[in-house]
Structure 1
Amino acid sequence: MINTKSALEAASDASKSAKQETKSPYVFLFVVLVFAAIATWIIPAGSFDREMRDGISFVISGSLHPVAQNGALPLEVFTAIATGLQKSAPIIFLILFTGGALAVLERTGAIHQALNGIANSTRLNDFLIVAMFGLIFGALGTTGVVVNAVVAFVPIGLLVAKSLGLNPIFGVSLVYLTCASGFNVALTNPVTTGLTQRLAHLPLFSGFGLRGITSALFILACIVFLTLYVRACRKNGERRPEVSEVTGQGEKATARHWVILAFASLCLGAFIYGAMTLKWGEVEMTAMFVFMAMVAGMIGRLSASDIANSFLGGCSRIVSGALIVGMARAISIVLENGHILDPIVGFLADVLAPLHPAMAALGMYVSAALMHFAISSGSGESALLIPIYVPIGDMIGLTRQVVVHAVLFGEGIVNCINPTSGVLMGVLAVAGIPFGKWVKFVAPLIAVWMVICVVVLIVGVEIKWGPF
């Protein structure tokens, strides 16, 4: 059986090392915050008139008018950070509790043992192994169950690749790339889709149908890509050993482990139903994660202290990703208090207005992708861009659902080739794969994903993807 503890420790060390080698997104956001404060003294202040429709505030096109200048003072730069954290509290706690609940699931061993069973099987051919990992990790990624913790599963992928007589790139892809294929178009991930939709005042996890099709296409494209890669490797002489000397028999997932996984899936399914029919939001989802952690821990026969400590440990591991939401929110607060956010929006809207709405959506998509190289945190980028892009979309005829997904798709495309991503660099460090070699390998799949995103955004514009 794979040594879970050593795998987790190696993944943690690699991730920390990668993060030390890359620039912190907090530094970038603070620099942007300072420039935003300076801009409040330079850009003429202005404000749009707004109207309420079904409880949602919309900008009235052409209503921009000058208001008194209100430049930000040095102290206000720092109070904006505190205010941003305060206003983002529901989302921040949701992100923290997501990490806590998933840490308890990890502590039960259910996920690792289930994957060990697949790794130890000698009855599965190449395609079935790729398909099973693709579906499992695609589902884990698209629901947000496994995101940053994917680094800990890389050793499993590497052992499976070795048992199949294949190279480490395939082993990494079997875990990381399949997980990314789901995560990059997350169906129910509260940290990406949930956060971005709530920033745009959309119902949580709305637009499920078209997003579900897109997520399925991403996962399918990844499975096909890896299947073709395996075939190419076989033609180049990489053969599967007759008897695996790597994985051994090991331990298998017990009935208790499968019950835990089934219960976690049931909780996520119940919340999706509640979000779509009962208008559940951050509060209900936060409560669901606490409930899921407690019951899963009890099923896994963890003590009360083990459940609490695992939950808090999971929260602590994701603090940096949660607090960045407040940091990014501080930028929009400074712009809003300085009355220059609306003039910036008006200028960008005038630039995009002559374009067809589909081209404007693609422009947002490309700009979000480029921005993600600087802000590796998807939640931080969403908190920065959505307050600017949503009113632009309102004025040029884009639905908020299209705007949200233009940002989400842009972030998702870059995740697998982003050198500022601690997760990606940690994964490559565990496997000893050079970054340049990885980019060359994954480029064809990224190109296919980009085409899928472009087509979906164009379709979204034409059908006025809503609810608004």
Structure 2
Amino acid sequence: MTPQTVNGTRAARVPHTLVLLFGMMVVAWLMTWLLPQGSFDTVQNEAGRSLVVAGTYAPVDDRVQLSPLALFTAIPRAMADAAPIIFFILIVGGAVGTLRASGAIDAGLGRALHLLAGHPGWLIAGGVTLFATASAALGTSAEYIPLVAILAALAVSLQFDRMTAVGIVLAGYGAGYGVAFLNPFTVLAAHEVAELQPGSGMWYRLLLFIPFVGIGIHHVWRYARRVQDDPARSLVAGLPANIEPVTETLALNGRHRACLLATLGTILLLIWGIGWRGWYLNELTATFFGLAVVIIAIGRLGASAGAQAFVQGAAELVGTALLIGFARGISLLLEDGQVLHTIVHGLSIPLQMVGEHLAAVGMLLVQTLLNLFIPSGSGQAYATMPIMAPVADLVGIQRQVAVLAFQFGDGFSNIVVPTNPVLMGILGAAAIPYDRWLRFVLPLLAKWLVAAAAALMVAVSIGYH
């Protein structure tokens, strides 16, 4: 990864995520030589999911030794194994690409922000909710970067500052990913790995969406009011800004409205299909491809230009697809070397000692720390859920709780970890130094994590599944 620069200061210098994941593959390969090899007995439940049986871990009789060549053959095998979710993500990327090419995203968000501009409280509350909803439903993130300058100009005109503008965007982004109800890159990917129905358990995530977004709104609003009362208390007071005061956006026309309505209809269709028809990845992939075709038609992109937009949108997620493959390679090596269950056994022992409720909180802390090294939500799902899902079986909590701990840990810390290119891009667009951003956001992250721990304990208590 190229060092990210904000106001001329290097905020982070870390290897590319693909390098980190291959390094983790090397560590996994070494573990197959160093750790005891063993396995649990497994049974199938009524849903056909394989569950590990507590108390059945035992060493294997025939030790497997993986050659260095296994490091490289694991990659194409892992890509093939993760093919359904990889193709799904590429198709989603293509659909979002056509929506972006139609101008509907920029025009819709820009129009919404301008409608809220005359009402400071509604700008913050509506802006955070808007970004959170888009992230929770479609997994949008980088699409917000071009809107930062517009929002910063609106915020300054209301006697706020550009930190408030960035807070609106990133509080929405973090809350949306943290309590996503239908994010294809995190929730659906984690469900696939954990052998759960994609999108299942949505009712609880929808309930959590309101209070977590509310926490983000309250945090940004308190800061904004403080700056209004005393501009000297701004965290960016005295710092030069290199942003252009953009105040005009693409006009929202009838075609844009039709595209946005088609997208909303698709989301509702997905919720219906998942909740009442038992749709799986094939149906979900087909639905997003159908959305792309509709957008091309009603957005009047033209067949060739629409296809080009679709290909470009999919191409932007090729890196994500590779991360998924490499992440799957980690667990594949651990499985081949017969040490995956050894690691699960080792992790489950301390978690079983603290009880189900604290075990869920422990999973949250682990996922939060891992997001520093694997900022890709899909990659983190494929790297960690093969371990966390069976750990949940042994500890006595539902796998749905383990997925919730994953999305909390991944989503909320997205707005802190300097390895996240979306975060650094947004800070760069608003000329916000990373250290100043931390002073603003760390209290918000602490509030979210405390609330997330409470939500996980409730999930354990009610048997959330």
Q: TM-score, normalised by structure 1?
A: 0.91
Return closer, same or farther for 1:413/1:246 CA change in 2, 3 Å cut-off: closer
Q: Who is 2:236 aligned against? A: none
Structure 1 segment 423-462 matched on structure 2, within 5 A: 423-462=422-461
User: 1:102 touches 1:145 (CA, 8 Å); kept in 2?
Assistant: no
- Structure 1 counterpart SS, 2:50: strand
Partner Cα separation in structure 1 for residue 248 and residue 389 of structure 2 = 54
Q: Which runs of 5+ in 2 are unaligned?
A: 233-243
Task: Note if contact 2:11-2:434 (Cα within 8 Å) is conserved in structure 1.
Answer: no
State yes or no: 1:32 paired with 2:32: no
- Establish whether residue 277 from structure 1 lines up as the match of residue 276 from structure 2: yes
Answer with 120-129 or 218-227: which moved more: 120-129
Q: How does 1:250-289 map to 2 (within 5 A)?
A: 252-289=251-288
- 8 A contact 2:340–2:387 mirrored in 1: yes
Return the alpha-carbon distance in structure 1 between the equivalents of residues 336 and 113 of structure 2.
55
Whether the 8 Å CA contact 1:102–1:314 is kept in 2: the answer is: yes
Letter in 1 for 2:277: L
Q: What value does the CA root-mean-square deviation take over the aligned residues?
A: 2.2
Equivalent residues of 1:163, 1:247 under 8 A apart: no
Residue aligning to 2:152: 158
Q: State how 1:161-200 maps to structure 2 within 5 Å.
A: 161-200=155-194
Q: Across the two proteins, how many residue pairs are aligned to each other? A: 447
Q: Which residue is equivalent to 2:38?
A: 46
* Counterpart contact for 2:12–2:418, Cα < 8 Å: no
Per-residue deviation, 1:49? 1.1
Picking from 55, 67, 70, the partner of 1:62 is 55
Per-residue CA distance 1:149-191 (angstroms, 9 max, x = gap): 2223222222222332332111222223323221222110111
Query: C-alpha deviations, 1:341-395, integer Å up to 9, x for none?
Result: 1112112222222211111111111011111111111211111111111111111
Deviations 1:262-290 (A, max 9, x none): 11100111011101111111111111111
SS in 1 for 2:56: coil
**In the alignment, is the contact (CA less than 8 A) between 2:12 and 2:419 conserved in 1?**
no
Structure 1 CA distance, aligned partners of 2:286 and 2:115? 38
User: How far off is 1:412 after superposition?
Assistant: 1.6
1:355 aligns with 2:382: no
Contact 2:150–2:245 (8 Å) recurs in 1: no
Residues 145 and 419 (structure 1), Cα distance of their counterparts in 2 relative to 1, 3 Å cut = closer
Q: Which amino acid in 1 is paired with 2:445? A: I
Distance 1:20 1:440 in 2: 17
1:357–1:398 CA contact under 8 A, matched in 2: yes
Query: Aligned with 1:354: secondary structure?
Result: helix
Residues 5 and 428, structure 2, Cα contact 8 Å, conserved in 1: no
Distance (Å, rounded) in 1 between the aligned partners of 2:63 and 2:172: 50
Return the alpha-carbon distance in structure 2 between the equivalents of residues 123 and 337 of structure 1: 57
**Consecutive unaligned residues in structure 1, runs of 5 or more:** 1-11, 239-244
Alignment partner, residue 239 of structure 2? none
Which residue of structure 2 lines up, in the alignment, with residue 228 of structure 1?
Answer: 222
The share of aligned pairs that are identical, in percent, is 33
User: SS of the counterpart of 1:376?
Assistant: coil
TM-score, normalized by length of structure 2? 0.91
**Partner amino acid, structure 1, of 2:301:** L
Relative distance call for 1:343 and 1:166 in structure 2 (3 A) is same
Q: Distance in 1 between matches of 2:155 and 2:84?
A: 42
Alpha-carbon distance in 2 for matches of 1:376, 1:30: 14
Q: Quick check: 2:372–2:419 contact (8 Å CA) kept in 1?
A: yes
Residue 129 of structure 2: aligned partner: 135
**TM-fit CA distance, 1:250:** 5.9
